[in-house]
Amino acid sequence: MAKKLPPLVTPGQKVDGYTVIEQAPADLIRGSRTRALDGHLVTGSWAEPWWLYSREHGWALAKRWRSKRREITERQGDGTVKAIVIGARDELVIEAWPAPAQEAG
């Protein structure tokens, strides 16, 4: 069974000029399991989407990115092969986002 990690953010917390508002729908992080890191596409997983808000910047979506350590090889121009290590990641990624739809009522 996978170990449950503590959340990276909690409601009311300040992060990079934003305030954490509430958890966002999981549907917002479904799909792609790759991300460009250090110039290479790395496979990992997204989790814990949260709505953030800032008067200055507007709405944003924060989400947790986790990936394992990867060692890849890259062919150099002279024909040699170079090993590149991309370290394991467990980090918060913040992306600007349109305002979430408000429920009528």
Predicted pLDDT at 30: 85
SS3 call for 31 = coil
Q: What is the pLDDT of residue 101?
A: 56
What is the chain's pLDDT, residue by residue, as a tens digit (105 residues)? Answer: 445 667 788 999 999 999 999 999 999 988 878 888 878 889 999 999 999 999 999 999 999 999 999 998 888 889 899 999 999 999 999 999 885 555 544
User: What per-residue string of b and e applies to 19-54 under the rule 16 or more CB within 10 Å gives b?
Assistant: ebbeebeeebbeeeeebeeeeeebebebebbbbbbe
Residue type (1 letter), 69:
R
pLDDT of the residue at 32: 77
Taking the domains of the chain in order of start, what are their residue ranges? 34-96
d(CA 51, CA 62): 6
| Burial class for 97, CB neighbours closer than 10 Å (0-12, 13-18, 19+) | middle
What pLDDT is stored for residue 40 in this prediction?
Answer: 86
